[in-house]
Structure 1
Amino acid sequence: MDNLVPTVTVATARARLNLRAAMLVALAVFAQESVWNFYDAQVPASIAQYTSSAALIGLLMGVDNALGIVLQPLVGHLSDRTRTRFGRRVPYMVVGAIIAAVFFMLIPFAGSFGALIACIFAFAIVANSFKAVTESLTPDFQVPGRRSLANGIAKIATSLTIIVSALISLLVVDESLELAFAIPAVMMVCAMLIVGFTLHETRSPGYQRAVAQRGGEGEPEWTFRRVVGELVRDADRSRVFLLLAIFATAGSWAALRSQLTPYAMEVLDLSRGEAGSLTLPAGLAFIVVALPIAFLSDRIGRRLMVRIGLVVFIAGALVAFSVPNLPVTITGVIIASVGYAAFSINGIVLMWNLAPSAAVAGAYTGMYALASALGASLGPALIGLMVDATSWRLLFLHAAILAVVALVLFLLVRSENHPAQTAEAAQDAATAALAAEAKGAVA
């Protein structure tokens, strides 16, 4: 078998995408993100029925990010160590979706401020618990060389949820708020059940590798302490710089998204409704470029693609900064969105591929979520302080500066595949090749 490893290593890099698994994972991501997008769009209005404090509304809407920082790495690691006849991720997804849907549908029925907060907290706790678990299915099913393409499909599904949420808000909310909350909740449960019963997670290379490692003699268990310790003690600091780069990139993008509306009202003199629509062209641009970027990433490498993407993002921000009028701003935001797409598709894939084993994909998904959530929480505040010290006119310039910091950090990421995981993929492919050869000989 040793003689097969070099050949199989090349074969794994060129292996075909598991399209069926990629589409089912995209369905699960679409379902859970539909709920989150509707949550972000409508829950602030529900809170506003009880308070006029924008600060309190913002604080309560930040609960999900705060909980995600704690829950997603821990539950992701817990799913790495789970073994059931349904798999190690699917039980969390299906059970979590059902419980989260109940709390989500109760939000419009809350008859007091306390009841509303209780529903929000309960939903955020449960929904955050399986959010990273769902994304971890991609590295479980896909070889390292095809994860960008698979994640690109999932990101298109995520982008489509913006449209779904907008349509529910437009067509249903004013007629029946209760029905509007029920629709995405029911969609999520139905989709998770379909995925749970048709994905066959136990057949995935990631699950089989995890089972084999747990059953191996003399191999230490991947405890959370060992996962973090291995990352911190590694002489190659690529993963540390990667997490810092994820933080900076997510912060820059979140700052633009969250502060684009007040910028447009202050600088471009648009109405609230007109200002709020500026992200739609960028969302459509993201959908258009997602698959081409994913295909190209698998060919030229994810580090290079992310670096190119950040250069494009910075260029877009500078275009929007150059002339403060509506056409130039829209053009700049579209360019920045295309650049951000390169990071959005490949950032988490770099984390997956740099994991020391496919068995810890859940923990690494959680660490990506941790860095991203911290960036999304602190980035807008940092850029906001810079705007307060200068003016709204400089918003895009400040975002470009933070993106330059992210680019420098990405330049310090020196590798994009962990040798141990590459060896695992080669060994798995060699085992499968020998099994197929033996089966053919018997036939």
Structure 2
Amino acid sequence: MMTEKIQGVSKTKIFAIGSGFFALMLIWTFYNAYMPLILGDFIESRGIRGMIMGLDNLFAVLLIPIIGTWSDRINTRFGNRLPFLIVGMPIAAVFFALIPYGAMVSLWVLLVVDIVFLLAMTVYRAPVIALMPDHTPPAYRSTANGIINFMGGVGAIVALFGLSTLYGIDRTYPFILAGLLLLFAFILLYFVVDRHPPYADATADDLEEVKATGSLKTMFKKILLPDFRGQFYILLAIFIYFIGYAAVEALFTVYAVEHLGMAEDAAGFTLGFFSLSFVLFAIPAGIIGTKIGKAPAMSIGLLALPAVFFLIPTLPLIDGAVFGMSHLTLLPIVLLIGGIFWAFVNVQAYPLVADLGGTNKIGFFTGLYYLFSMGASIIAPGVLGLMMDLFGAPALFYGSAVTFLFGYWSLNKGVKILRGVR
């Protein structure tokens, strides 16, 4: 019946799969915001903390393609995806809840708990992502993916606004609650999704990490050929500006707490304004990109975000002079604006890259897109964290602003080469 379906797929199954994305984004967003602060109890260097924060993306690129392919090929009484969920989700939930308790013991216990948590998340990430295409007819996957990604965006917002509030009450509370939500998502998935879904057909090949690793192994040399010079500059732009974005995402709370003197819960809550405006403006940014072009829309964001980031270190002075207050009153407003301009950039980026080679090279350029963006996310927290160590905390935003400016230059150079303009 149509009342029980959302364009070809059961509402209940969409909700169950979406709950997996909700829990995934909830945990990753909270982890990225607060793990650097917890590490700060033991490690002063922001560069070292940043390198530790890059581990999740390193594990993703190295292990998820293997796990995704494995989950395509095995066949058990639980099907091919659920065995990985059965192992990964409960372990990830338990060890995420243990992170603050590990920090109460020692750095080494904390690191062991963290590594087990990251590995468990890696085990189930590819199979849970593959559940959507497994259960959805190809014609309706875009709609289903939009719903599921919206739930993921809500998870990120709940993490920064809701869990941050709990963090201010007791550091352990949000970790326990997030772990319980992940367990709830697992139980829902276990009882709702099909053991042998109707559309399962090697969907691991569609995963970001699989495409990234495939490009790393077989395609990277091609992009360095003269015929791909314009495309290379566009991909280089994505790599460069993703360094700035990923660093701010991972180290903003460190800047807010250790430089501005914010309470830890207030730092995470404040970062939520960036995510909120991005989610709210994603669809309008896509419409604007359709009207004026993907590259021009990206250029607007790439020029505006440096202004936002250059402004942020000056906000304490402005607040003190204008409002006569010691705490930041303008920072949430500036982050709201920043999230809007990030939507201009991020919403257009993948469609632009997918268009680079025409219909017969979409997979090739999709793989390169994920390779360049995920590669940047591996090194970004360490690189910008080291700059904070050497030049002071504001270097996070100055360095990030510079990456967006270089990204703008590289993007437009690539576009000019493709158009034959010297």
Give CA-to-partner distance per residue, 1:20-77, whole Å, 9 cap, x none: 3544332111112222233334434443444444444333333323322312222223
Kept in 1: contact 2:301–2:344 (CA 8 A): yes
User: Is 1:34 aligned to residue 26 of structure 2?
Assistant: yes
User: Is 1:74 aligned to residue 75 of structure 2?
Assistant: no
**Residue identity (%):** 24
* Equivalent of 1:398 in 402, 409, 420: 402
* Equivalent of 1:114 in 108, 113, 130: 108
| Structure 1 letter corresponding to 2:411 | L
Partner of 1:426: none
Query: Which structure 2 residues correspond to residues 178-193 of structure 1 after superposition, within 5 A?
Result: 179-193=173-187
User: Is 1:126 aligned to residue 129 of structure 2?
Assistant: no
User: Is 1:407 aligned to residue 411 of structure 2?
Assistant: yes
1:333 Cα deviation from its structure 2 partner: 0.8
* Equivalent of 1:64 in 53, 56, 59: 56
Query: Which structure 2 residues correspond to residues 232-247 of structure 1 after superposition, within 5 A?
Result: 247=239
* Equivalent of 2:163 in 149, 168, 185: 168
Hey, what's the Cα distance between the residues in 2 that align with 1:413 and 1:122? 46
Partner of 1:423: none
| Structure 2 letter corresponding to 1:128 | T
Question: Secondary structure of 1:136's match?
Answer: helix
Partner of 2:339: 334
Cα distance change of structure 1 residues 354 and 47 upon mapping to structure 2, 3 Å threshold:
farther
| Structure 2 letter corresponding to 1:57 | R
Hey, what's the Cα distance between the residues in 2 that align with 1:143 and 1:309? 32
Partner of 2:377: 376
1:97 Cα deviation from its structure 2 partner: 0.3
1:257 Cα deviation from its structure 2 partner: 3.4
| Structure 1 letter corresponding to 2:169 | D
* Equivalent of 2:80 in 73, 80, 88: 88
* Equivalent of 2:305 in 308, 317, 328: 317
Partner of 1:12: none
Give CA-to-partner distance per residue, 1:181-203, whole Å, 9 cap, x none: 22211211221221233232633
| Structure 2 letter corresponding to 1:95 | V
Hey, what's the Cα distance between the residues in 1 that align with 2:415 and 2:399? 25
Give CA-to-partner distance per residue, 1:396-424, whole Å, 9 cap, x none: 6413224326635985999xxxxxxxxxx
Hey, what's the Cα distance between the residues in 2 that align with 1:146 and 1:123? 33
| Structure 1 letter corresponding to 2:341 | A
| Structure 1 letter corresponding to 2:276 | L
Kept in 2: contact 1:107–1:120 (CA 8 A): yes
Kept in 2: contact 1:72–1:128 (CA 8 A): yes
Further displaced range: 238-247 or 331-340: 238-247
Question: Secondary structure of 2:74's match?
Answer: coil
Further displaced range: 148-157 or 229-238: 229-238
Hey, what's the Cα distance between the residues in 2 that align with 1:240 and 1:101? 40
1:375 Cα deviation from its structure 2 partner: 1.1
Give CA-to-partner distance per residue, 1:364-391, whole Å, 9 cap, x none: 9998665433211334566678997998
Partner of 1:104: 96
Hey, what's the Cα distance between the residues in 1 that align with 2:34 and 2:218? 41
Cα distance change of structure 1 residues 79 and 410 upon mapping to structure 2, 3 Å threshold:
farther
1:176 Cα deviation from its structure 2 partner: 6.7
| Structure 2 letter corresponding to 1:171 | L
Kept in 2: contact 1:383–1:398 (CA 8 A): no
Cα distance change of structure 1 residues 36 and 105 upon mapping to structure 2, 3 Å threshold:
same
Hey, what's the Cα distance between the residues in 2 that align with 1:191 and 1:80? 22
Cα distance change of structure 1 residues 319 and 41 upon mapping to structure 2, 3 Å threshold:
closer
Give CA-to-partner distance per residue, 1:69-103, whole Å, 9 cap, x none: 31222222322333345443333223210122232
Kept in 2: contact 1:310–1:339 (CA 8 A): yes
Cα distance change of structure 1 residues 176 and 17 upon mapping to structure 2, 3 Å threshold:
same
Kept in 1: contact 2:53–2:381 (CA 8 A): no
Q: TM-score, normalised by structure 2?
A: 0.67
Cα distance change of structure 1 residues 185 and 170 upon mapping to structure 2, 3 Å threshold:
same
1:128 Cα deviation from its structure 2 partner: 1.9
1:127 Cα deviation from its structure 2 partner: 0.9
Question: Secondary structure of 1:202's match?
Answer: coil
Kept in 1: contact 2:49–2:385 (CA 8 A): no
* Equivalent of 1:196 in 176, 187, 190: 190
How many residue pairs are counted as aligned between the two chains?
Answer: 376
Q: CA RMSD in A?
A: 5.0
Cα distance change of structure 1 residues 163 and 309 upon mapping to structure 2, 3 Å threshold:
same
Hey, what's the Cα distance between the residues in 2 that align with 1:95 and 1:367? 31
Hey, what's the Cα distance between the residues in 2 that align with 1:42 and 1:148? 33
Hey, what's the Cα distance between the residues in 1 that align with 2:376 and 2:10? 32
Q: List gaps (5 residues or longer) in structure 2.
A: 1-5, 205-212, 316-329
